[in-house]
Structure 1
Amino acid sequence: MSTANSNNSTNHHHGDRDLGFWFLEQSRLASARGLTDMDEDEDAPTELNTINSSGGFLVVSPDKLSAKYPNVNLHGHDVGVVQANKPAPVKRLVYYFEIYVKDAGTKGHIAIGFTSESFKMRRQPGWEANSCGYHGDDGLLYRGHGKGEAFGPTYTSGDIVGGGINYDSQEFFFTKNGAVVGTVPKDIKGPLFPTIAVHSQNEEVHVNFGQQPFAFDLKEFEAQERMKQQMSIEKISLPTNVSHQIVRSYLLHYGYEDTLNSFDMASKSTVPPVHIAQENGFDEQDILFALNERKTLRQLIRNGEIDFALGKLREWYPQIVQDDKSATCFLLHCQKFIELVRVGALEEAVKYGRMELARFFDLPLFEDLVQDCVTLLAYERPRESSVGYLLEESQREVVADTVNAMILSTNPNLKDSSHGCLHSYLERLLRQLTACCLERRFLSGDQGEAFHLQRVLNSSKKARC
C-alpha cells in the first residue's frame, strides 16, 4: 500500500461512502427487475364503441365486433361510422387492426382508418380534419378533406383490409389480404381511434382487434422495422481502432486483466495503433491503477470466496473496510451470508447473520436488503423464491463492481472520483445513447417503443446469428 493511497483515503471518505450506496441501490433494483415487465402495458382497443357512433345508420352486433348498414343512403352525411372503444396505444413500435368485408353491399362504400376523438360521426374517415381513411370503392386515400389521392387497389366482399400506425417512422400504413398496400405520413396529433365506416345497403364488416390471428404477418413486419433501425446504425462508420480502444477501456475498468491480454494479442496484427487518449481526454493510467489487485478480488468474489476477498482488502486497502458499517462492508457481509445459503450451510449462515449482519438490522438504509437475505432461510428452494435474485451471478457482480469502484476511488491521480469509478467509457456511451433515444421519443409525443438497452443488445446479437 503506497503512502499516497493511504493519505488519499481521508480525501475520498465521503465519496467512497457515496459509491458504496450507489451499488447498494443497484442491488435493490435487481430485486425489482423480476417484478416488472420490460414492455409498457397499455389498454388497447377490444371492441366497437356503440355509444360514440352514427347509430341511426348502422347496426352493431351484440359482440361489438361487426357493423352492418341496413338502409338505403340518401346523401353524403348518412354514413354509418363507428370508432373503437379505446384509442390506439402509442407506447409500442406498431399498432394494427383488420376488417373482414363480409358483404360489400350495393356500392362498396367501405372505409378503414383512424380518427380523432372529436371526429364528426356522420362522415367517412378521411373526409374531415384529423382523420385518415383508405376507401374500398375507389382505392383512394383520404387525409382530412373530401379529395382522395391515388393509393391502392379497391377492395370488396371477401377481402381482409388492415390499418396500422408505425410509430418509429411516424406513418400510417394499410394492407390488403396480408400485403402492405402503402404508407403515408402520420401528421395527426393526439389520440387516434381505429375507425370503420359503411355507406350503402347491406354492407357488413367484421373487426379484428387482435382476438384472432391477423392475415397480415405483424411480427415479421415489426422484425423488418427493427432490422431497418439496426442497418441504419451499422451504416455509421466507426474506425476500428476507436472501437478497439473503447472495448479495451471497459476491460481495464473492470479489472479483466486476462481477457485484456487475450484481446490485445488477438488484435495486435489487425488493429492499427491509435492515440485517442490525448485527443479525447482519455487517460489509460486512471484505469490501469491497481489492475492486478482488482482482477484478483473480482475473481475471488465471483467464485464466492468472500473471506479471502475481505482478507485481501484488509491487507491491500484497509481504508475501504475500516468502517464496518459502510455500504461496501454491508454488501460483502451480505454476500458471505448468501454464499453460505447457496451451499446449504444454514446453521453457519444463521451464526454469521447474528454476528455480522445484526449490526445493520436497525439501520434504515440497509433494512430491506437484510430482510431479503434472512428471508432466504425460510425457503426449502430459495432459488425459486421472491428473493432468489440474491443467489444469481448478477448479485456477485454487483459486489465485485462495488469493490472495483472503491479501489479505483483510492487513486490519488483520479480526476473524476465518482463517474470515473462507477462507469467505464463504454457504459457512458451507452448511457448517452439511452438519453438520446428517450429524448427522441419525447419529441415524438412519447410515441413508440420505450427504449430498453438490453433488448437492443439482444436484437443485435440475434441479427448476427
Structure 2
Amino acid sequence: MVHTNQELIGSYFVDLWKQSSRAAADMEVMKKEAEESEWNPTELNTVNSAGGFMSVSPDKLSVQYNNVNFHDHDVGVVQANHPAPVRRLVYYFEIFVKNAGAKGQIAIGFTTEGFKMRRQPGWEANSFGYHGEDGLLYRGQGKGDAFGPTYTCGDTVGGGINYASQEFFFTKNGVVIGSVYKDVKDPLFPTVAVHSQNEEITVNFGKQPFVFDVKSYEAQERAKQEKTIEKVSLQQDVSFGIVRSYLVHYGYADTLKLFDMASRSSLPPISIIQENGFNEKDNEYALHQRKAIRQLIRNGDIDGAFGKLHDWYPQVVQDERSATSFLLHCQKFIEVVRAGRLEEAVMHGRKEFEIFYLQREYEDLIKDCAALLAYEEPEKSSVGYLMKESQRELVADMVNAVILSTNPNKNVKDVNYYCLHSYLERLLRQLTGCYLENRSLNGDQGETFHLSRIMDNNCYKKA
C-alpha cells in the first residue's frame, strides 16, 4: 500500500512540475490569448442594418436619420460589429446625442443576432432598449415600462451588462439610472436606433474615455460580492481549525507553536472541537521530522535531506527509480548549478539521470535541467523557473506528502484526501468548483475564475 501511495504521490508532483515548466507557461499564454481573443465591439455593422432610413459615417461610429418616418417599422437601427464579450464582470458602451431631431426617438440597448432590423430595440423578443423620447424601458414587446428620465440633444447615455448580477443597466450623463434582469443567455449585440428626421448620435465602444466611470462601478460590484461573502459567519474554532490544519499538514512546526500560543491567550481561548471535523492532534505525525526535512530542501541542502530520509524513512528513498528519488536528484542538480559548480552538476547528471532518461515521463524535465548549463545567467533563461523558490517548495511538498503516507496509524486509502492536500486547499477547490458551476448556470458568462488573482487582490488591499 505504501509503495502504491508513493507512486501516486510521485506522479502527482511530476505532473505539477510539468505544469510549471515551459509547456505549462505556453499553455497559460494560450489560455490568456483565448480569453483575450473574444472580439470586442469596435464599430457599427453597416452590412446588417436598416440602411434605407439612416446613414453611417465613414468611421462607422456615427448614425444620422436621413428620411421621414411614416410607419413604426421605418426605424434606422444598427448593431455593433460583434456581440458584447462575456468573459468579464461588466460590458459597457455609450452614445452621445448630437441632434434629437424631430421627435427624439433615439434608443440604446441590446439585441440578438436574428433581430429584425426595422424595429426599435426592445420591441421584439430577446431585445432590450432604453428610449429617449419617453424614458421607458422596452423588454421584448411594444409596451414599455417606466424606467428613467428622457434624454435629448447633448446627453450621453450608456448601456451595460453586469454578468455577476445578470442584469442590464443604463446610465445618463455618467450616472446609473436603473437596471433590469437579463433573461437572455444568447450573444447580445450593442444596438442603437434613430427614428425621426435629423436625429444623429455618435457611439463610443471604449476607444474614447467613457463619461461613466466603469472602473468604479466594477469595484463597487466586487465589493458587493465580498460583503455578501463576509456575511457568512464561521465559528472561531472552525476558522482556527482550518488554518491549523494547513500548518500541521505542511510541517510548519514553529509557526504552529506560535499559532497555538496565540489561540490559548485569546478571549475566549480557542480549542480544537472534534465536532467541527478537525482532528489535527492525530494528524501531527512526524511533524518535527517533516519540518526539518522541509527546511533542508528550502535551504538547498538536498544531501542533508537525503541523509535524514535514509535515517528516518528509508522506505521513501529505497527505490532509486521512484519519482521521489528523481525529483530530489533533479533539485540537487539545480542547486549545484545555482552554486556555479558546473562540472559537478554534469557529473551528478550523468550518474543520476541515466536510469531516468529513457522513461518518457521524465525526458522533458531532464532536458530542462540540462538546459541550465547552457546559460551564463540561468535564472533569466527560458528554464529559469527551476531556479525559483517555488521549485524547492514543490520538492519539499512532495517529500512531505510521501512521509505522511508512511503513517502507520492512518489507513491511507485516499492519498488525495490525506497526503496531498490540507483541509484549506480542499475548501478552495470546492470554492472553485462552486464558482465554475454558478458560471455554467449563467451560460458561461462572467469573469473566468482565477483563485490566484483573488488572493493577490485581497493581499494587496490588506497591505
TM-score, normalised via structure 1 length: 0.94
> 1:273 Cα shift?
3.8
Question: 1:286–1:411: 8 Å Cα contact kept in structure 2?
Answer: no
What is the aligned partner in structure 1 of residue 172 from structure 2? 176
Secondary structure of the 1:368 match is helix
> 1:397 Cα shift?
0.6
Question: 2:19–2:25: 8 Å Cα contact kept in structure 1?
Answer: no
**Residue identity matched to 1:13:** H
Which of the numbers 427, 430, 437 marks the counterpart of 2:428?
430
Secondary structure of the 2:201 match is strand
Secondary structure of the 1:358 match is helix
Which of the numbers 370, 386, 398 marks the counterpart of 2:382?
386
What is the aligned partner in structure 2 of residue 216 from structure 1? 212
Q: How does 1:365-376 map to 2 (within 5 A)?
A: 365-376=361-372
Q: How does 1:381-420 map to 2 (within 5 A)?
A: 381-417=377-413, 418=415, 419-420=417-418
Which of the numbers 303, 309, 327 marks the counterpart of 2:305?
309
134-143 or 26-35, which deviates more: 26-35
Secondary structure of the 1:195 match is strand
Which of the numbers 434, 445, 448 marks the counterpart of 2:446?
448
Which of the numbers 131, 140, 146 marks the counterpart of 1:144?
140
Question: 1:252–1:287: 8 Å Cα contact kept in structure 2?
Answer: yes
**Residue identity matched to 1:414:** K
**Residue identity matched to 2:120:** Q
**Residue identity matched to 2:195:** H
Question: 2:338–2:387: 8 Å Cα contact kept in structure 1?
Answer: yes
Q: How does 1:60-459 map to 2 (within 5 A)?
A: 60-270=56-266, 271-277=268-274, 279-417=275-413, 418=415, 419-459=417-457
**Residue identity matched to 1:400:** A
Q: Does 1:47 align with 2:37?
A: no
Question: 1:49–1:85: 8 Å Cα contact kept in structure 2?
Answer: yes
Secondary structure of the 2:165 match is coil
Identity percentage over the alignment? Answer: 66
Q: Does 1:16 align with 2:6?
A: yes
**Residue identity matched to 1:452:** H
Aligned mates of 1:44, 1:399 — CA distance in 2: 43
Aligned mates of 1:329, 1:64 — CA distance in 2: 64
Question: 2:241–2:278: 8 Å Cα contact kept in structure 1?
Answer: no
**Residue identity matched to 2:20:** A
Aligned mates of 2:411, 2:453 — CA distance in 1: 34
> 1:140 Cα shift?
1.2
Shift in CA distance, 202/343, structure 1 to aligned 2, threshold 3 Å = farther
Provide the aligned length of Structure 1 versus Structure 2: 454
Question: 2:263–2:271: 8 Å Cα contact kept in structure 1?
Answer: no
354-363 or 311-320, which deviates more: 354-363
Aligned mates of 2:412, 2:172 — CA distance in 1: 58
TM-score, normalised via structure 2 length: 0.95
Alignment root-mean-square deviation, CA: 1.6
367-376 or 281-290, which deviates more: 281-290
Deviations 1:110-166 (A, max 9, x none): 111000111110011011110001111111111111111111122222222111100
**Residue identity matched to 1:459:** N
Shift in CA distance, 303/459, structure 1 to aligned 2, threshold 3 Å = same
> 1:375 Cα shift?
1.5
> 1:428 Cα shift?
0.9
Deviations 1:22-52 (A, max 9, x none): 0111111122554425763222212211111
Aligned mates of 2:3, 2:347 — CA distance in 1: 31
Structure 2 portions without partners, runs of 5+: none
> 1:204 Cα shift?
1.6
Question: 2:18–2:24: 8 Å Cα contact kept in structure 1?
Answer: no
